[in-house]
A and B are shown apart, each in its own frame.
Chain A
Amino acid sequence: MIEISSLAKRFEVENPKKLSEQEKKDPRLKGRYFQSVKDVSFSCGQGEVLGLLGPNGAGKTTTLRMLSTALKPDSGTVVIDGEDVLANPIIARKKIGFLSSSTGLYGRLTGRENIAYFGELHGITKSIISARIEEMADLLDMQSFLDRRAENFSSGMKQKTAIARAVIHEPSLVVLDEPTTGLDIMATSTVMDFIQRLKDKGTPVIFSTHHLDEVQMLCDRVTVINQGESVFNDSLAAFSALSDGQMHKSFLHTLKMNTAEVGQCG
């Protein structure tokens, strides 16, 4: 169970003069500071999958980075299974499995070594790591490339390895930042199946995405972030009901936009 309330985070802009005209017009820019996240709150219970939606630059990644402890919020709280993330980041990190949008791997290490390294960082014994790697390699269909160097992996192979690495310590919460971006249909399907499996095991999953079909397929809850604020936070059914089951219209509805306005944004 994770509860996030009133998260806020601002960044100092290194060189405000270098910002584009569109960035300069963003109401979140105040002098040298950019309020990336203003007020974000949501929660995700046991066995639930929460889809985090929002346009580019809305503050999704910053929010996920804060709840994974990579960034420290300026204000607000993140509580995982009763543990305050801000007060005890090291303990919180043991409970979180995080997959960043970049899915970076160490190219000169094999897939197995990449996963094992993070297992060891979590203090898991080598024998348990080996057993878990074998288990995940079967689940994610990784056996054929597990012992090859990661520098030659396809994006699908990289993503599978990164997912295995994120969950090697069997976290009580899994956070995935755009896990299917850039993947082909087969790899996307494997990732979707994996999220479903986590859900079946009762592990809460939060993932950000731009694919509404994935939200429809997997999510129990939906949170929409716009301009650094959570503008919608409810069940999938409630989200869908906003526009009679038409997901993209529901999404635009939460942003208080219509289709014509979307064209202007592009």
Chain B
Amino acid sequence: MWLIFKKEFKELLRDRKTIIFMIVLPLLLFPLIFGVAMFFMNSAAEKAENVVLKYAIVGEQYAPEMSQQFANETDKFTMVDIQGDADYAKLIKDETLDFVLVIPETFNNEVLTSGQHKLQLYLNDAGLNKVLGRVSEIVDVYTDEFQKTAFANLGLNESQQQALLAPIVIEKENIADDREVWGERLGGLLPYFIFILCLQGAMAPASDLGAGEKERGTLETLLISPMERYKLVLGKFFTIGVAGLITALITVSSMAIWGIVLSQGLAIEFVAEVMAMIGIIDFVLIFLMLIPVVAIFAAVLLSLSIYARSFKEAQSYMGALVMVVVFPVLIAMMPGVKLEGGWIWVPLTNVALAMKELFKGTMDYFALFGIFTSTAAIAVALIAFCVFWFNKEKVLFR
């Protein structure tokens, strides 16, 4: 068995594709995802805020001061002349305008007598230009002014004004500490990435070790060697498993290392906060829980691979497996699903939930018994199935 493992691993390390999935991808994925996402979010927001909006005001004579303010802010707005009866929607759709503001003729009347003023804003809200926000910046000044005038006319003091504006206020007293808040937000998402990476890391060698043997024509020669079948299977299983574990180890280490780099080296505050809350033991526990998870992946992948007639067929089966793996992780993300009761015994979902609890700092360590027992039991059953599968001529010589 060791002999099989040694040879398979040597071949694995000589395969560029496997190295990419096993080492490079998990090492770079997290900083890449966060980096790219932050870069695009920032640049999109910056672009949206800086773009000069083309506008038209209908009824500007009713609010000359406000209209003048739009005209003054030339770095933000540029006016386009239109006819009063123009088709606003068409002008916005063909990008002649970004928005049209229609001011009612009653705009200058006192609000207590005329009632609420309704300004109509025509815009394409599917865009990213923050039109409403930027228009509101100017309009809100008048809203405050109108409010003050109305309150003054009513003779209300400041406290009465506040009570009128917001008669009921909910004051939130959050008892969750920061770790729990961040854990809930990040902890649900991380198992998703980690599981997929471990699966990807194990997929490339699995395709090669089963279907690849068939396609190359080496399987037959291997089957007639004096090595017992179960040893052949275990040798291959451990190779795939170790590949998955290396991916898991690199993924978890990468999370920790990049966390330290981002929090200390680049002084990113929110990462620093998260990193300060998570201890090395949490990372070790995450890695330990991934061992039986990877064993499950390795056994299923090897079974699929040996069943497939070719590399291509194996990869199509494995593609479908990704969906199957994502499902229990999605369950763990659902509201109300917690690491308690029956969920402790549901493989994969329990590990995903446990990761979330570890991040939140609310882990019930007794649950680890259920997690390891159920996941390991499934893994052993799947390995046994793999051995059985490897003894079936119908599977080997399809």
Residues in chain A within 8 A of chain B (CB atoms): 11-12, 14, 65, 68-72, 90-91, 93-94, 96, 98, 100-109, 113, 117-118, 120-123, 162, 165-166
Contact = CB atoms under 8 A, between A and B. Distances in A.
A71 B393 contact: yes
Contact of B224 (A12, A70, A103, A106): A70
A104 B216 contact: yes
Contacts, number: 74
A72 B393 contact: yes
B220 A96 contact: no
Contacts of A93: 224-226
B64 to A, nearest CB: 79
Contacts of B219: 104
A12 B394 contact: yes
B392 to A, nearest CB: 11
A109 B226 contact: no
Given A120-B3, A122-B226, 16 more contacts: A11-B397, A12-B394, A65-B397, A69-B223, A70-B223, A93-B224, A94-B226, A98-B221, A100-B221, A104-B217, A104-B218, A109-B10, A118-B221, A121-B227, A122-B225, A165-B221
| Binding site secondary structure of chain B | helix
Given A14-B398, A121-B225, A106 B220 contact: no
B172 interface: no
| Most A C-beta atoms less than 10 A away, residue of B11, B15, B225 | B225
Contacts of A118: 221, 225
Interface in B1-40: 3, 7, 10-11, 14-15
Going nearest first, the 7 A-B pairs with the smallest beta carbon separation are: A102-B217, A104-B217, A104-B218, A104-B216, A121-B225, A108-B14, A93-B226
B3 to A, nearest CB: 5
A19 to B, nearest CB: 15
Given A71-B393, A104-B216, A106-B216, A98 B224 contact: yes
Interface of B: 3, 7, 10-11, 14-15, 213, 216-228, 393-394, 397-398
A63 B219 CA distance: 17
B11 A102 contact: no
Contacts of B11: 106, 108-109
A197 to B, nearest CB: 21
Nearest to B3: A120
A71 B227 contact: no
Contact of B218 (A14, A72, A91, A106): A106
A240 B225 CA distance: 36
Contacts of A94: 226
A69 B224 contact: yes
B226 A105 contact: no
Nearest to A104: B217
A68 to B, nearest CB: 5
Contacts of B10: 108-109, 113
A149 to B, nearest CB: 8
A144 B349 CA distance: 55
9 contacts: A65-B397, A70-B397, A98-B220, A100-B221, A106-B218, A108-B14, A117-B7, A122-B226, A165-B221
Nearest to A14: B398
Contacts of A108: 10-11, 14-15
A65 B217 CA distance: 13
Contact of A121 (B213, B216, B220, B226): B226
Contact of A96 (B213, B222, B224, B228): B224
A11 B216 CA distance: 23
B298 to A, nearest CB: 20
Contacts of A102: 216-217, 220
A48 B15 CA distance: 43
A90 B232 CA distance: 13
Nearest to B215: A104
A103 B217 contact: yes
A109 B10 CA distance: 8
Contacts of A106: 7, 11, 216, 218
A65 B14 contact: no
A14 to B, nearest CB: 7
Most buried by B among A94, A100, A104: A104
Nearest to B223: A70
Contacts of A113: 7, 10
A104 B218 CA distance: 5
Nearest to B10: A109
B225 A71 contact: no
A123 B224 contact: no
Nearest to A94: B226
Residue from B221, B223, B225 having most chain A Cβ neighbours under 10 A: B221
A117 B8 CA distance: 10
A90 B221 CA distance: 14
Contacts of B218: 104-106
A209 B124 CA distance: 76
A165 B225 CA distance: 11
Contacts of A65: 220, 397
Contacts of A105: 216, 218
Contacts of B226: 90-91, 93-94, 121-123
A98 B397 CA distance: 17
A255 B96 CA distance: 86
B221 A104 contact: yes
A90 B227 CA distance: 7
Contacts of A109: 7, 10-11
Contacts of A91: 226
A216 B172 CA distance: 96
A104 B7 CA distance: 16
A71 B7 CA distance: 25
